[in-house]
Amino acid sequence: MFVDSHAHIDGPEYDADREEVIKRARDAGVAAILNVGTGDPHSGALERAVELAEKNRDIYTAIGIHPHDARHFDDQAEDRIKGLIKTSSRVLAWGEIGLDYHYDNSPREVQREVFRRQLRLAREAGLPVIVHTREAEDDTIEILREEWAQPGSQGIMHCFSGSLKLAQATLGLGFLISFAGVLTFKKAEGLRAVAAEVGLDRLLIETDCPFLTPIPFRGRRNEPAHVIEVARCLAGIYQTTLPEIGRVTTGNFAGLFKLEGVFG
Ligand SMILES: [Zn+2]
Ligand SMILES: [Zn+2]
């Protein structure tokens, strides 16, 4: 049994065959998918993500303003997110939120401000956060230490591709660390060395699909069934079996979101 703890299957990339994609995941042993709603909050993208989770018993959702869209964050966006959290029990987390200095789609100053604001809102809502960070490690650590270092604060560092320093800092803040297909890439020896230090009790697996297709499917659109390739890679790193990685990561996911009764 596996959980894809971060996917984007509500978007147009899957409009033609979404049902088959979901079925392939189920057939492959993926017990749950956390679909993350992103995009301009005024476009209906967040509502679309919640709707997909409402329609499928094994799909959950997280909603928040991605750093790319930080410039679209305003009071109305905040109200929409709060409203969706209130009306749907399928929203498990606030995210993805964070900093992305690689693309700089929103000004960095705005990204930092919106990241802080959403961390405070997530705390008020009592939800874990899903953090996206790229080429912004120092600012990410600083903001998380200032805004999130409190008892009971939990979250996921998603699609982890950072340094050992970032891993240790966020583990110290109580985060779980989620690896995506990047881990399987030939040149990712450094990342695999970081993954080896995380510890089985803090690991999650994800696809971040449609992006980052793992080996041996690289070059094609990614999908939740491929999360098993990330698990296979971790089994090699931890010198254990594929079912054991599935069991442990599913248990970590269920523990974080208090879904032990549902699966895991
Ligand atoms: Zn992300
Ligand atoms: Zn994502």
pLDDT one-digit tens code per residue, 8-67: 999 999 999 999 999 999 999 999 999 999 999 999 999 999 999 999 999 999 999 999
pLDDT at 86: 97
Q: Which residues surround ligand 1, an ion (CB under 5 A)?
A: 96, 132
Q: To which residue do tokens 């990410």 refer?
A: 140
Mean pLDDT, rounded, of the chain: 97
Q: Which ligand is nearest to the CA of 134?
A: 1
Q: Which parts of the chain fold into alpha helices (H)?
A: 18-27, 45-55, 75-87, 108-125, 137-147, 164-172, 189-198, 227-237, 242-256
- Over residues 59-77, the mean pLDDT reads 97
Ligand nearest 7 Cα, by number?
A: 2
Span from the CA of 36 to the centroid of ligand 2 (angstroms): 6
What mean pLDDT comes out for the span 99-117? 97
% of residues, the chain, pLDDT over 70:
100
Tell me: pLDDT of 263 over 80. Answer: no
User: How much is the average pLDDT of 133-153?
Assistant: 96
Cα dist. 16→11, 42, 218, 225 in Å?
10, 24, 21, 17
CA of 6 to the centre of ligand 1 (A): 8
pLDDT at 191: 98
- Within 10 A of 43 (CB to CB), how many other CB atoms are there? 11
For ligand 2, a single-atom ion, the residues with CB < 5 A are 208
